[in-house]
Structures are given as structure tokens and as C-alpha cells.
């Protein structure tokens, strides 16, 4: 019985490791996706969270949240072939988010938020985006009840506060 359990455990651990490795392999698009078909991109990265129509073709969106720090946009031409890709969670794109813009405009720039939290008394939501930075912070957008951006800026994710509590009694 013990041998059977050991083998089952070894097989389970191996399966999880293989699944983890294959998931990592598809995290990002190739450095130059030019000419790849939509199907080839999806085979590599998995299904997109959204496909939007854009000038000259479409765009596949691949957010890697809630704890991932990247959102990839892959642009396809009218024939469904990749023309370029970009990681959109950047300081330059955060600066494009301004009070008064619609929540859809903000989503066009950054894609889906890693976390969404409701504000008390139905005052709207806070969208939070983890991103690659040397500090423990995330970018946040406050969406008002009329679905426009009320404010945007940087905050501290909850895991940072927990880490600070553990190191500073």
C-alpha cells in the first residue's frame, strides 16, 4: 500500500511540474511574433481573455494576473497574422490614465485589472494592476459609479503590508 501511495505521489508531483513548466513556456509571446497565425499564438499562450477589433485588424489580450505582473497585447492584421506584441503594464501607459476618461478607455490601454474591489456605499470600484517594478506597489484606478475614472495612482498591495507587519513588530 505504501509503495502504491509513493508512486501515486511521484506521478502527481511529476504531472504538476510538467503542467507548471508548460504554463511558464506560454507566459509571453515570442520576441518577434510577426507572421504567426492567431491559432499559433493561442497554442503558445492559451486563449486570450479578450479579442478586440482595432484599426487594420484585431488585438488579443493576455492578462497574467492576479499575481502576474504583465499583460500582453498581440496585434493581428486583417488576415489574422501577428504584426507585433507589447507588454502594456508600464509607467508610460499608467500616465495615459486620467480622471474623466471612461472605464472602457482605461481598459483599452491596460487590459483587465488583476483585482477589482468594490467601494463602500456603491461608490464604484478600484482596479488594481500589479506590474514589474523594484518596489512593492501596484497601479490603481478608481472607477466612479458613472463608469469614469475618478482617480489613478500607486498603492501598496496587501502582501506588502503583511511583509512589513512580520518584519516590524
Query: Which CATH number is 129's domain given?
Result: 3.30.1450.10
Q: Is the residue at 22 inside a domain? A: no
Widest pairwise Cα distance in the chain: 65
Q: Is the residue at 11 inside a domain? A: no
Cα(64)–Cα(114) distance, integer angstroms = 8
pTM of the model: 0.78
CA angle 80, 90, 161 (to 5 degrees): 130
Q: CB–CB of 107/97 below 8 Å?
A: no
**Which residue range forms the structural domain that includes residue 31?**
27-87
Under DSSP, the state recorded for 96 is T
Q: Is the residue at 18 inside a domain? A: no
What is the number of domains present in the chain? 2
Q: Is the residue at 169 inside a domain? A: yes
Q: Is the residue at 3 inside a domain? A: no
Q: Is the residue at 9 inside a domain? A: no
Q: Is the residue at 138 inside a domain? A: yes
pLDDT of residue 24: 47
Cα(108)–Cα(54) distance, integer angstroms = 10
Residue 121 backbone zone (phi > 0: left; psi -120 to 50: alpha; other: beta): left
Same domain assignment for residues 76 and 57? yes
Last residue of a domain, one of 68, 87, 106: 87
Q: Is the residue at 1 inside a domain? A: no
Same domain assignment for residues 38 and 78? yes
Same domain assignment for residues 125 and 153? yes
Local confidence pLDDT in tens for the 169 residues of the chain: 444 444 444 444 444 444 444 444 478 999 999 999 999 999 999 999 999 999 999 999 999 978 889 999 999 999 999 999 999 999 999 999 999 999 999 999 999 999 999 998 888 999 999 999 999 999 999 999 999 999 999 999 998 876 655 555 5
CA 137 to chain centroid: 15
Q: Are strands 50-54 and 125-130 parallel, antiparallel or unpaired?
A: unpaired
Amino acid at each position: 500500500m505504501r509503495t502504491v501511495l509513493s508512486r501515486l505521489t511521484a506521478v502527481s508531483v511529476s504531472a504538476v511540474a510538467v503542467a507548471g513548466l508548460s504554463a511558464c513556456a506560454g507566459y509571453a509571446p515570442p520576441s518577434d511574433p510577426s507572421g504567426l497565425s492567431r491559432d499559433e499564438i493561442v497554442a503558445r499562450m492559451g486563449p486570450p481573455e479578450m479579442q478586440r477589433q482595432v484599426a487594420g485588424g484585431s488585438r488579443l489580450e493576455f492578462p497574467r494576473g492576479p499575481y502576474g505582473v504583465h499583460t500582453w497585447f498581440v496585434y493581428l492584421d486583417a488576415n489574422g497574422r501577428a504584426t507585433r506584441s507589447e507588454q502594456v503594464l508600464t509607467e508610460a501607459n499608467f500616465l495615459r490614465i486620467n480622471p474623466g476618461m471612461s472605464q472602457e478607455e482605461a481598459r483599452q490601454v491596460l487590459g483587465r485589472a488583476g483585482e477589482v474591489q468594490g467601494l463602500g456605499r456603491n461608490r464604484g470600484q478600484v482596479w488594481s494592476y500589479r506590474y514589474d517594478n523594484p518596489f512593492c506597489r501596484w497601479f490603481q484606478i478608481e472607477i466612479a459609479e458613472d463608469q469614469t475614472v475618478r482617480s489613478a495612482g500607486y498603492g501598496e498591495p496587501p502582501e506588502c503590508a503583511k511583509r512589513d507587519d512580520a518584519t516590524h513588530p
